[in-house]
Protein backbone atom coordinates (compact mmCIF):
# COMPACT_ATOMS: atom_id res chain seq x y z
CA UNK A 1 0.00 0.00 0.00
CA UNK A 2 1.13 3.53 -0.74
CA UNK A 3 1.56 6.05 2.07
CA UNK A 4 0.03 9.49 1.89
CA UNK A 5 1.18 13.14 1.98
CA UNK A 6 0.15 16.19 4.02
CA UNK A 7 0.86 19.66 2.63
CA UNK A 8 0.65 22.47 5.17
CA UNK A 9 1.77 26.04 5.69
CA UNK A 10 4.61 26.78 8.12
CA UNK A 11 3.82 30.44 8.86
CA UNK A 12 0.57 32.41 9.30
CA UNK A 13 -1.03 31.16 6.10
CA UNK A 14 -0.86 32.50 2.53
CA UNK A 15 2.37 30.61 1.85
CA UNK A 16 1.28 29.34 -1.58
CA UNK A 17 -0.12 25.94 -0.58
CA UNK A 18 -2.68 25.98 -3.39
CA UNK A 19 -0.04 25.98 -6.09
CA UNK A 20 1.98 23.26 -4.36
CA UNK A 21 -1.10 21.03 -3.98
CA UNK A 22 -1.97 21.67 -7.62
CA UNK A 23 1.58 20.71 -8.64
CA UNK A 24 1.81 17.55 -6.54
CA UNK A 25 -1.81 16.59 -7.11
CA UNK A 26 -0.95 15.11 -10.48
CA UNK A 27 0.53 12.15 -8.57
CA UNK A 28 -2.49 11.79 -6.26
CA UNK A 29 -5.71 9.86 -6.71
CA UNK A 30 -7.52 11.85 -4.01
CA UNK A 31 -6.98 15.42 -2.76
CA UNK A 32 -8.57 16.15 0.61
CA UNK A 33 -9.23 19.26 2.74
CA UNK A 34 -9.27 18.28 6.40
CA UNK A 35 -9.98 21.51 8.35
CA UNK A 36 -10.98 25.14 8.08
CA UNK A 37 -13.75 26.68 6.05
CA UNK A 38 -14.28 29.23 3.31
CA UNK A 39 -12.10 31.68 5.26
CA UNK A 40 -9.21 30.08 3.37
CA UNK A 41 -8.24 31.27 -0.08
CA UNK A 42 -5.96 29.39 -2.47
CA UNK A 43 -4.94 31.10 -5.71
CA UNK A 44 -3.90 28.82 -8.57
CA UNK A 45 -2.95 29.56 -12.18
CA UNK A 46 -4.04 26.75 -14.52
CA UNK A 47 -3.85 26.91 -18.32
CA UNK A 48 -3.13 30.62 -18.05
CA UNK A 49 -6.28 31.32 -15.99
CA UNK A 50 -6.54 32.42 -12.36
CA UNK A 51 -8.68 30.40 -9.96
CA UNK A 52 -9.34 31.40 -6.35
CA UNK A 53 -10.65 28.47 -4.33
CA UNK A 54 -11.96 28.57 -0.77
CA UNK A 55 -13.44 25.19 0.17
CA UNK A 56 -12.74 22.90 -2.76
CA UNK A 57 -9.21 21.44 -2.91
CA UNK A 58 -7.12 22.93 -5.71
CA UNK A 59 -6.64 19.43 -7.12
CA UNK A 60 -10.13 19.76 -8.61
CA UNK A 61 -8.51 21.61 -11.54
CA UNK A 62 -6.68 18.42 -12.52
CA UNK A 63 -8.86 16.23 -14.77
CA UNK A 64 -9.92 12.94 -13.24
CA UNK A 65 -8.79 13.70 -9.70
CA UNK A 66 -11.29 13.11 -6.90
CA UNK A 67 -11.59 15.68 -4.14
CA UNK A 68 -12.99 15.45 -0.63
CA UNK A 69 -14.11 18.03 1.89
CA UNK A 70 -13.55 16.11 5.11
CA UNK A 71 -15.42 15.92 8.38
CA UNK A 72 -13.00 18.37 10.02
CA UNK A 73 -14.10 21.20 7.69
CA UNK A 74 -17.00 23.55 8.40
CA UNK A 75 -19.07 23.96 5.23
CA UNK A 76 -21.16 26.95 4.22
CA UNK A 77 -23.66 25.45 1.72
CA UNK A 78 -24.19 28.81 0.00
CA UNK A 79 -20.47 29.48 -0.38
CA UNK A 80 -19.82 25.95 -1.64
CA UNK A 81 -22.59 26.18 -4.22
CA UNK A 82 -21.20 29.47 -5.50
CA UNK A 83 -17.73 27.97 -5.77
CA UNK A 84 -19.08 24.98 -7.72
CA UNK A 85 -20.95 27.31 -10.08
CA UNK A 86 -17.79 29.40 -10.56
CA UNK A 87 -15.77 26.32 -11.54
CA UNK A 88 -18.45 24.82 -13.78
CA UNK A 89 -18.86 28.14 -15.60
CA UNK A 90 -15.16 27.94 -16.41
CA UNK A 91 -15.38 24.43 -17.81
CA UNK A 92 -14.27 22.43 -14.76
CA UNK A 93 -16.34 19.26 -14.45
CA UNK A 94 -17.16 18.36 -10.84
CA UNK A 95 -19.87 15.70 -11.08
CA UNK A 96 -18.66 12.46 -9.53
CA UNK A 97 -15.38 14.10 -8.44
CA UNK A 98 -16.34 16.16 -5.38
CA UNK A 99 -17.50 14.59 -2.11
CA UNK A 100 -18.53 16.38 1.09
CA UNK A 101 -18.47 14.51 4.40
CA UNK A 102 -21.83 13.79 5.98
CA UNK A 103 -20.11 14.41 9.32
CA UNK A 104 -18.86 17.91 8.42
CA UNK A 105 -20.60 20.73 10.27
CA UNK A 106 -22.50 23.38 8.33
CA UNK A 107 -22.14 27.13 8.62
CA UNK A 108 -25.53 28.82 8.69
CA UNK A 109 -26.38 32.52 8.32
CA UNK A 110 -26.61 33.01 12.09
CA UNK A 111 -22.97 31.93 12.43
CA UNK A 112 -21.97 34.77 10.10
CA UNK A 113 -24.18 37.23 11.98
CA UNK A 114 -22.63 36.26 15.32
CA UNK A 115 -19.12 36.50 13.83
CA UNK A 116 -19.81 40.04 12.64
CA UNK A 117 -21.30 41.09 15.99
CA UNK A 118 -18.35 39.66 17.92
CA UNK A 119 -15.83 41.43 15.69
CA UNK A 120 -17.61 44.75 16.25
CA UNK A 121 -18.20 44.46 19.99
CA UNK A 122 -15.67 41.97 21.37
CA UNK A 123 -11.94 41.39 21.05
CA UNK A 124 -10.97 42.36 17.51
CA UNK A 125 -9.24 39.28 16.11
CA UNK A 126 -9.36 40.26 12.46
CA UNK A 127 -11.50 37.31 11.35
CA UNK A 128 -12.96 37.03 7.86
CA UNK A 129 -16.46 37.18 9.44
CA UNK A 130 -17.49 34.10 7.47
CA UNK A 131 -18.91 32.34 10.55
CA UNK A 132 -16.10 29.84 10.94
CA UNK A 133 -15.39 30.45 14.65
CA UNK A 134 -19.05 30.34 15.76
CA UNK A 135 -19.63 27.14 13.75
CA UNK A 136 -16.66 25.42 15.38
CA UNK A 137 -17.85 26.71 18.77
CA UNK A 138 -21.22 25.01 18.19
CA UNK A 139 -19.45 21.82 17.17
CA UNK A 140 -17.46 21.69 20.40
CA UNK A 141 -20.55 22.64 22.44
CA UNK A 142 -22.37 19.69 20.81
CA UNK A 143 -25.16 21.81 19.38
CA UNK A 144 -23.76 21.94 15.83
CA UNK A 145 -25.65 20.86 12.72
CA UNK A 146 -23.84 18.41 10.46
CA UNK A 147 -24.39 17.83 6.76
CA UNK A 148 -26.28 14.62 7.61
CA UNK A 149 -28.61 16.61 9.89
CA UNK A 150 -29.03 19.37 7.30
CA UNK A 151 -30.28 16.84 4.74
CA UNK A 152 -33.15 15.70 7.02
CA UNK A 153 -35.75 18.53 6.83
CA UNK A 154 -37.68 17.71 10.02
CA UNK A 155 -34.55 17.26 12.09
CA UNK A 156 -32.94 20.35 10.61
CA UNK A 157 -35.99 22.48 11.37
CA UNK A 158 -35.98 21.40 15.01
CA UNK A 159 -32.23 21.92 15.46
CA UNK A 160 -32.36 25.30 13.71
CA UNK A 161 -35.23 26.51 15.89
CA UNK A 162 -33.48 25.44 19.09
CA UNK A 163 -30.20 27.09 18.12
CA UNK A 164 -31.80 30.35 17.02
CA UNK A 165 -33.84 30.50 20.22
CA UNK A 166 -30.71 30.04 22.33
CA UNK A 167 -28.71 32.62 20.36
CA UNK A 168 -31.51 35.16 20.01
CA UNK A 169 -30.36 37.39 22.90
CA UNK A 170 -27.26 38.17 20.82
CA UNK A 171 -29.16 38.42 17.54
CA UNK A 172 -32.33 40.28 18.57
CA UNK A 173 -31.10 43.54 17.07
CA UNK A 174 -31.36 41.92 13.64
CA UNK A 175 -35.09 41.22 13.75
CA UNK A 176 -37.59 38.71 15.05
CA UNK A 177 -36.85 35.05 15.71
CA UNK A 178 -39.53 33.90 13.24
CA UNK A 179 -38.18 36.29 10.63
CA UNK A 180 -34.70 34.82 10.94
CA UNK A 181 -36.07 31.29 10.62
CA UNK A 182 -38.08 32.20 7.52
CA UNK A 183 -35.06 33.86 5.92
CA UNK A 184 -32.94 30.74 6.38
CA UNK A 185 -35.71 28.41 5.17
CA UNK A 186 -36.30 30.39 1.97
CA UNK A 187 -32.90 29.28 0.67
CA UNK A 188 -32.97 25.82 2.27
CA UNK A 189 -34.72 23.65 -0.39
CA UNK A 190 -32.28 24.58 -3.15
CA UNK A 191 -29.25 24.31 -0.91
CA UNK A 192 -30.40 20.94 0.41
CA UNK A 193 -30.78 19.59 -3.14
CA UNK A 194 -27.32 20.85 -4.04
CA UNK A 195 -25.63 19.44 -0.95
CA UNK A 196 -27.36 16.05 -1.24
CA UNK A 197 -25.80 15.64 -4.70
CA UNK A 198 -22.25 15.54 -3.29
CA UNK A 199 -22.67 14.42 0.35
CA UNK A 200 -21.08 11.06 1.18
CA UNK A 201 -19.50 8.93 3.87
CA UNK A 202 -16.08 10.26 2.95
CA UNK A 203 -14.32 8.36 5.73
CA UNK A 204 -15.44 5.11 4.14
CA UNK A 205 -14.42 6.37 0.68
CA UNK A 206 -10.91 7.29 1.83
CA UNK A 207 -10.41 4.13 3.87
CA UNK A 208 -11.35 2.04 0.82
CA UNK A 209 -8.98 4.11 -1.32
CA UNK A 210 -6.22 3.48 1.20
CA UNK A 211 -6.83 -0.29 1.14
CA UNK A 212 -6.70 -0.25 -2.67
CA UNK A 213 -3.29 1.42 -2.57
CA UNK A 214 -4.49 4.73 -3.99
CA UNK A 215 -2.60 7.90 -3.13
CA UNK A 216 -4.14 10.59 -0.91
CA UNK A 217 -2.88 14.16 -0.65
CA UNK A 218 -4.14 16.07 2.40
CA UNK A 219 -4.38 19.85 2.07
CA UNK A 220 -4.47 22.17 5.08
CA UNK A 221 -6.02 25.59 5.24
CA UNK A 222 -4.25 28.49 6.98
CA UNK A 223 -0.80 27.97 8.52
CA UNK A 224 0.86 26.34 11.51
CA UNK A 225 1.03 29.55 13.57
CA UNK A 226 -2.74 29.95 13.20
CA UNK A 227 -3.35 26.57 14.84
CA UNK A 228 -5.79 26.96 17.75
CA UNK A 229 -3.47 24.88 19.98
CA UNK A 230 0.01 25.66 18.67
CA UNK A 231 -0.41 29.12 17.19
CA UNK A 232 -0.35 32.70 18.46
CA UNK A 233 -3.49 32.31 20.57
CA UNK A 234 -6.00 34.01 20.60
CA UNK A 235 -5.07 35.43 17.18
CA UNK A 236 -5.56 32.08 15.48
CA UNK A 237 -8.11 30.17 13.44
CA UNK A 238 -10.67 27.93 15.16
CA UNK A 239 -9.25 24.59 14.03
CA UNK A 240 -5.98 22.68 13.74
CA UNK A 241 -4.13 23.13 10.42
CA UNK A 242 -1.35 20.87 11.72
CA UNK A 243 -0.49 17.52 10.18
CA UNK A 244 -1.99 15.54 13.07
CA UNK A 245 -5.43 16.95 12.21
CA UNK A 246 -5.34 15.26 8.79
CA UNK A 247 -6.25 11.98 10.44
CA UNK A 248 -8.86 13.45 12.80
CA UNK A 249 -10.40 15.53 10.02
CA UNK A 250 -10.79 12.65 7.57
CA UNK A 251 -10.81 9.31 9.39
CA UNK A 252 -7.65 8.00 7.69
CA UNK A 253 -5.41 6.30 10.26
CA UNK A 254 -2.39 8.41 11.29
CA UNK A 255 0.17 5.68 10.56
CA UNK A 256 -0.91 5.76 6.90
CA UNK A 257 0.41 9.35 6.56
CA UNK A 258 4.13 8.95 5.93
CA UNK A 259 5.21 12.28 4.45
CA UNK A 260 4.68 15.91 5.49
CA UNK A 261 5.70 18.78 3.21
CA UNK A 262 5.84 22.29 4.68
CA UNK A 263 5.32 25.34 2.50
CA UNK A 264 7.34 28.42 3.49
CA UNK A 265 7.30 31.83 1.89
CA UNK A 266 10.71 33.52 1.39
CA UNK A 267 9.44 36.34 3.60
CA UNK A 268 6.61 36.40 6.14
CA UNK A 269 3.08 37.76 5.83
CA UNK A 270 0.11 37.97 8.13
CA UNK A 271 -3.50 39.07 7.62
CA UNK A 272 -5.43 40.60 10.50
CA UNK A 273 -4.20 41.35 13.98
CA UNK A 274 -1.83 39.50 16.29
CA UNK A 275 1.89 39.42 17.10
CA UNK A 276 4.31 39.67 14.18
CA UNK A 277 7.92 40.06 15.41
CA UNK A 278 9.58 40.56 12.01
CA UNK A 279 7.05 43.01 10.56
CA UNK A 280 8.88 45.62 8.48
CA UNK A 281 7.99 49.28 7.94
CA UNK A 282 7.21 51.08 4.70
CA UNK A 283 8.40 51.76 2.07
CA UNK A 284 9.94 48.27 1.82
CA UNK A 285 6.78 46.56 3.08
CA UNK A 286 4.67 48.31 0.43
CA UNK A 287 7.21 47.43 -2.26
CA UNK A 288 7.09 43.71 -1.41
CA UNK A 289 3.30 43.78 -1.01
CA UNK A 290 2.79 45.21 -4.49
CA UNK A 291 5.46 43.10 -6.16
CA UNK A 292 4.21 39.89 -4.54
CA UNK A 293 0.51 40.80 -4.84
CA UNK A 294 0.13 40.25 -1.12
CA UNK A 295 -3.59 40.75 -0.65
CA UNK A 296 -5.94 38.26 0.97
CA UNK A 297 -7.53 35.89 -1.57
CA UNK A 298 -10.72 35.73 0.52
CA UNK A 299 -11.12 39.32 1.74
CA UNK A 300 -8.74 41.37 -0.42
CA UNK A 301 -7.18 42.82 2.74
CA UNK A 302 -3.54 43.96 2.41
CA UNK A 303 -1.21 41.54 4.17
CA UNK A 304 1.32 42.73 6.72
CA UNK A 305 4.86 42.10 5.50
CA UNK A 306 7.91 40.93 7.45
CA UNK A 307 11.29 39.28 7.05
CA UNK A 308 11.51 35.49 7.01
CA UNK A 309 11.09 34.23 10.58
CA UNK A 310 12.91 30.92 10.92
CA UNK A 311 11.92 30.53 14.58
CA UNK A 312 8.33 30.25 13.34
CA UNK A 313 9.30 27.80 10.59
CA UNK A 314 11.39 25.67 12.97
CA UNK A 315 8.41 25.45 15.31
CA UNK A 316 6.20 24.21 12.46
CA UNK A 317 8.84 21.68 11.38
CA UNK A 318 9.14 20.24 14.90
CA UNK A 319 5.42 20.16 15.70
CA UNK A 320 4.33 18.63 12.39
CA UNK A 321 7.17 16.26 11.56
CA UNK A 322 7.95 18.12 8.36
CA UNK A 323 10.57 16.29 6.31
CA UNK A 324 10.75 18.60 3.28
CA UNK A 325 10.08 22.23 2.47
CA UNK A 326 8.69 23.99 -0.57
CA UNK A 327 9.97 27.58 -0.74
CA UNK A 328 7.71 30.09 -2.49
CA UNK A 329 8.07 33.65 -3.80
CA UNK A 330 11.86 33.74 -3.77
CA UNK A 331 11.61 35.85 -6.94
CA UNK A 332 9.89 38.66 -5.01
CA UNK A 333 13.11 39.31 -3.05
CA UNK A 334 15.10 40.10 -6.19
CA UNK A 335 16.62 43.56 -6.00
CA UNK A 336 16.52 43.86 -2.18
CA UNK A 337 19.87 44.30 -0.39
CA UNK A 338 20.61 42.98 2.14
CA UNK A 339 18.14 40.20 2.92
CA UNK A 340 17.35 39.31 6.52
CA UNK A 341 16.15 36.20 8.30
CA UNK A 342 15.20 36.00 11.96
CA UNK A 343 17.01 33.17 13.79
CA UNK A 344 16.09 33.97 17.42
CA UNK A 345 14.39 36.60 19.62
CA UNK A 346 15.49 38.77 22.52
CA UNK A 347 13.17 39.52 25.39
CA UNK A 348 14.30 41.57 28.36
CA UNK A 349 17.89 40.49 27.96
CA UNK A 350 17.18 36.81 27.33
CA UNK A 351 17.77 35.02 24.04
CA UNK A 352 14.80 32.89 22.92
CA UNK A 353 14.99 30.26 20.20
CA UNK A 354 11.39 29.08 20.51
CA UNK A 355 8.19 30.99 19.96
CA UNK A 356 6.85 31.77 23.46
CA UNK A 357 3.33 30.87 24.62
CA UNK A 358 2.83 34.08 26.62
CA UNK A 359 0.79 36.57 24.64
CA UNK A 360 2.48 39.39 26.57
CA UNK A 361 5.97 38.18 25.64
CA UNK A 362 4.90 37.64 22.02
CA UNK A 363 4.10 41.34 21.73
CA UNK A 364 7.50 42.35 23.15
CA UNK A 365 9.83 40.16 21.11
CA UNK A 366 12.85 41.71 19.41
CA UNK A 367 14.02 39.67 16.40
CA UNK A 368 17.65 38.62 16.06
CA UNK A 369 18.60 38.75 12.38
CA UNK A 370 21.18 37.18 10.15
CA UNK A 371 21.96 39.34 7.14
CA UNK A 372 22.35 37.75 3.71
CA UNK A 373 23.60 39.26 0.46
CA UNK A 374 20.77 40.07 -1.92
CA UNK A 375 20.57 39.26 -5.62
CA UNK A 376 19.60 41.59 -8.45
CA UNK A 377 18.83 39.12 -11.23
CA UNK A 378 15.32 38.13 -12.26
CA UNK A 379 14.83 34.42 -11.51
CA UNK A 380 11.27 33.81 -12.78
CA UNK A 381 12.54 31.73 -15.70
CA UNK A 382 15.11 29.67 -13.76
CA UNK A 383 14.40 25.91 -13.67
CA UNK A 384 17.80 24.51 -12.61
CA UNK A 385 19.43 24.94 -9.22
CA UNK A 386 22.84 25.84 -10.60
CA UNK A 387 21.30 28.64 -12.69
CA UNK A 388 20.09 30.51 -9.59
CA UNK A 389 22.30 33.45 -8.54
CA UNK A 390 24.81 32.43 -5.89
CA UNK A 391 23.23 34.74 -3.31
CA UNK A 392 19.82 33.12 -3.87
CA UNK A 393 21.33 29.64 -3.45
CA UNK A 394 23.01 30.73 -0.21
CA UNK A 395 19.69 32.11 1.06
CA UNK A 396 18.09 28.69 0.50
CA UNK A 397 21.06 26.90 2.05
CA UNK A 398 20.67 28.97 5.22
CA UNK A 399 17.02 28.00 5.48
CA UNK A 400 18.03 24.34 5.31
CA UNK A 401 20.76 24.80 7.89
CA UNK A 402 18.49 26.49 10.41
CA UNK A 403 15.47 24.22 9.93
CA UNK A 404 17.34 20.94 9.46
CA UNK A 405 15.21 19.86 6.49
CA UNK A 406 15.86 20.09 2.74
CA UNK A 407 14.17 22.54 0.40
CA UNK A 408 12.80 20.25 -2.30
CA UNK A 409 10.86 22.80 -4.37
CA UNK A 410 11.53 26.46 -5.11
CA UNK A 411 8.58 28.36 -6.57
CA UNK A 412 9.07 31.53 -8.59
CA UNK A 413 5.52 32.30 -9.66
CA UNK A 414 1.91 31.16 -9.44
CA UNK A 415 1.81 28.68 -12.31
CA UNK A 416 2.98 25.07 -11.99
CA UNK A 417 5.65 25.62 -14.63
CA UNK A 418 7.38 28.34 -12.59
CA UNK A 419 8.94 25.82 -10.23
CA UNK A 420 12.46 24.56 -9.65
CA UNK A 421 12.83 20.97 -8.40
CA UNK A 422 15.99 20.89 -6.34
CA UNK A 423 16.22 17.31 -5.10
CA UNK A 424 15.31 13.90 -6.41
CA UNK A 425 13.91 10.92 -4.55
CA UNK A 426 10.64 12.61 -3.59
CA UNK A 427 8.00 10.15 -4.75
CA UNK A 428 5.39 12.89 -5.25
CA UNK A 429 7.34 14.56 -8.08
**Other Cβ atoms within 10 Å of 239 Cβ, number:** 29
Q: What is the pLDDT of residue 2?
A: 61
* Contact present, 381 and 417 (Cβ < 8 Å): no
Q: What is the pLDDT of residue 45?
A: 74
Q: What is the pLDDT of residue 1?
A: 45
Question: Residue 18: helix, strand or coil by DSSP?
Answer: helix
CA-based nearest residue to 28, from 2, 1, 48:
2
Report how far apart, in Å, the C-alpha atoms of 128 and of each of 41, 236, 273, 298 are: 11, 12, 12, 8
* Contact present, 57 and 33 (Cβ < 8 Å): yes
Spot the catalytic one: 4, 14, 76, 210.
Answer: 14
331 is catalytic: no
* Contact present, 55 and 150 (Cβ < 8 Å): no
Spot the catalytic one: 22, 42, 105, 111.
Answer: 42
337 is catalytic: no
CA-based nearest residue to 107, from 60, 150, 155:
150
Q: For each of the domains in the chain, give its residue range(s) and CATH number, in order of start.
A: 4-101+199-260 (3.40.440.10), 105-196 (1.10.300.10), 266-310+329-402+414-421 (3.90.170.10)
Give the DSSP per-residue string, 142-165.
T---BHHHHTSHHHHHHHHHHHHH
Q: What is the pLDDT of residue 298?
A: 65
Give the DSSP per-residue string, 299-363.
T-PBPEEE-EEHHHHHHHHHHHT--EEEEE-GGGGTT-SSEEEEEEEEETTEEE-S--S-HHHHH
**The dihedral sign for the CA sequence 117, 41, 6, 398:** negative
CA-based nearest residue to 358, from 268, 239, 234:
234
DSSP category for residue 279: B
Q: Could you read off the pLDDT tens digit of each residue along the chain, which spans 429 residues? A: 468 999 999 999 999 998 899 899 999 999 999 999 998 777 777 777 878 889 999 889 999 999 999 999 999 999 999 999 999 999 999 989 999 999 999 999 999 999 898 888 766 676 778 999 999 999 999 999 999 999 999 999 999 999 999 999 999 888 999 999 999 999 999 999 999 999 999 999 999 999 999 999 999 999 999 999 999 999 999 999 999 999 999 999 999 998 999 999 999 999 888 999 999 999 999 999 999 999 876 678 899 999 999 999 999 999 999 999 999 999 999 999 999 999 999 999 999 999 999 999 999 999 999 999 999 998 988 999 999 999 999 999 999 999 999 999 999 877 778 899 987 678 888
Report how far apart, in Å, the C-alpha atoms of 417 and of each of 19, 77, 381, 382, 410 are: 10, 34, 9, 10, 11
pTM for the model: 0.93
**The dihedral sign for the CA sequence 41, 45, 47, 49:** positive
For residue 104, is it left (φ>0), alpha (ψ between -120 and 50) or beta? beta
DSSP category for residue 226: G
Amino acid sequence: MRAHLVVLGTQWGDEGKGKVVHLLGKRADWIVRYQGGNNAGHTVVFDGRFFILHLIPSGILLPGKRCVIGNGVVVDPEALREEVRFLEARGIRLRGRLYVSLAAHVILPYHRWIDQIQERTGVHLGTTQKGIGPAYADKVARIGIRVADYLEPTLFQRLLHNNLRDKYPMLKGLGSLSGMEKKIFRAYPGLRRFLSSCAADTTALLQRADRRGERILFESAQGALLDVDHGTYPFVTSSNPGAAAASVGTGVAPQRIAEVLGVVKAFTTRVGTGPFPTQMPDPLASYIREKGKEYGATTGRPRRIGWLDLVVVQSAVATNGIRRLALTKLDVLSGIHPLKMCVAYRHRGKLLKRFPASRTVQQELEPVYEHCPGFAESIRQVRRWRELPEAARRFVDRIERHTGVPVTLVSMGRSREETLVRTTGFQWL
